Amino acid sequence: MRLETRVVSFTLANGTADQSGVPVFTLGGTDVASFAVDAGSCSAPLAPLTSCSFGVAFSPLALGPLSAFVDVSASDAGPQRVSLGGFGLERVGFLGDPGTLRDAGEFPNTAGPSGVRFSGRIMRLEDSGIVLDGFDLRNLTIIISANNVTLRNCLLDGQQQGFYTVQHQSGSGLTIEDCTFDGLGLPNTNANTVVSTVGPIVMRRNLFQNAAAGFVAAQTGVFENNVFRGIGAAPNRAPSSTTISLAGGSGLPVAITGNYLEARILSSGLPSAALSVQAIAGPIDQVLIDNNVVLGAQYNVRVTNSSATDGGVVTNVTVTNNRLGDYTLGPYNMNVGGTPVRTGNTHLVTGAAL
């Protein structure tokens, strides 16, 4: 397993008129081996009314929810306990050396591989069967008008000030695997990172992070083992979308399995759902949402029929074995055709059935 490490900083303050002792940090708890403390600037006594910073590194040794605590002692008053928690995620996205990637700018303006065209910072993929494997596509907008296009092992970002980073305009069979999309927290006009207005798409093992608004908007598709985090990362920019937003239109099935979908907002605003499947553009039959972690927003999971006259109905919905949490109104917003199957879903923190 390739697990991801994160570091969180804490502030320790001396709010008294006396000098403290040297801070002592003691880790304990069920999964203590997955956490480590760096004393940082807290390695000496604190003068009155001063503070210092220390860090806790989370290096998960297993997948799933992990917990521990750190006791902090710097006076005769006894230790103060800080509860620690994290979720072990397998690393996804582009995991190689960026220096090994081919530069998309090496192509002439008028031609590269068959069907690849450039117009300034817009890269157009116009022939069926194109595979871009191992390319640096940062600072580009990708427009796809072809069948069976694959992006694999690529880096993409949100430097361009457009509506999207990747737009699937026509054709079918778009596949994106093992890529990293970084919105960089820029306050640009990107409403979504990937937009597909035609047919189903397939997305596996990608990392999406730091988007100004949302991540993926499509009709239907297969989404497996992706990580979505940092939605609404641009300062003072309210998100207008969700991690994955599907609108139907083809009647084809949807499978969303094994993903980490986090819609905790880093700036202002709150999306209505972390994960949304709505038959706005037409019917959707067979929706499987299984074994995901879904966090944040008003509702974690929204699956609804369309309220518009030209919309459709969502049928055969299965929502199973998901870990949910950090919602403000509820885990579900569901209004579908027939009775949805909802079993094995639990709260991420409490373990309560949902």
The 10s digit of each residue's pLDDT in 154-199 is 999 888 766 678 999 988 899 999 999 998 877 665 556 888 888 7
Hey, which residues does 24 pair with through a beta bridge? 73
Neighbours of 129 (CB within 10 A): 12
Q: What's the CA gap between 27 and 75, in Å, rounded?
A: 18
- DSSP per-residue letters across 220-237: EEEEES-EEEEET-STT-
pLDDT for the residue 191: 56
**Which residues, listed in sequence order, are joined to residue 57 by a DSSP beta bridge?**
7, 36
pLDDT of 110 reads 44
Contact 277, 313 (CB under 8 A): no
Q: Which helix (H) or strand (E) holds 37?
A: strand 35-38
CA 125-126-128 angle, to 5 degrees, is 100
- String of b and e for 16-52 (b: at least 16 CB within 10 Å)? eeeebeebebeeebebbebbbbebeebeebbeeeeeb
DSSP 289-315: EES-EEEESSEEEEEE---STT---EE
- Where are the CATH 2.60.40.10 domain residues in the chain? 6-88
pLDDT for residue 109:
45
The residue written with tokens 């980490």 in the block is 260
> Which pLDDT score is estimated for 1?
47
Count of beta carbons in the 10 Å neighbourhood of residue 180: 20
User: What is the distance between the alpha carbons of residues 129 and 125, in angstroms, rounded to a whole number?
Assistant: 10
User: What is the model's pLDDT at position 201?
Assistant: 93
How far is Cα 253 from Cα 52, in angstroms, rounded to an integer?
53
Of 287, 142, 294, residue with least CA distance to 227: 294
Please tell me the CATH superfamily of domain 6-88, with its number. Immunoglobulins (2.60.40.10)
Residues 6+ apart with CB under 8 A from 351: none
Spell out, as residue ranges, where the chain has pLDDT lower than 70.
1-4, 105-114, 161-163, 187-192, 212-213, 232-241, 250, 265-271, 308-311
CATH topology of domain 98-347: Pectate Lyase C-like (2.160.20)
Residue-wise pLDDT tens digits, 90-110: 889 999 999 999 988 665 444
The SS3 of residue 328 is coil
Helix-strand-coil percent breakdown of the chain, rounded to 5?
5, 50, 50
Phi, psi of 34 (to 5 degrees): -90, 0
Alpha helices in 149-241 (DSSP H): none
Can you tell me the distance from the alpha carbon of 214 to that of 268, in angstroms, rounded to the nearest whole number?
A: 13
H/E segment holding residue 133 = strand 131-133
CA dist 258 and 227 (Å) reads 9
Q: Where in the chain is the domain with CATH 2.160.20?
A: 98-347
Q: Is the pTM of this model over 0.95?
A: no
Query: Closest by alpha carbon to 316, among 284, 292, 343?
Result: 284
Token pair, residue 106, equals 């090496």
Q: Which residues, including other chains, have CB under 8 Å from residue 81's CB and lie 6 or more apart? A: 69, 70, 71, 72
Which one-letter amino acid corresponds to residue 269? Answer: G
Name which of 339, 265, 258, 338 is nearest 294 in CA terms. Answer: 258
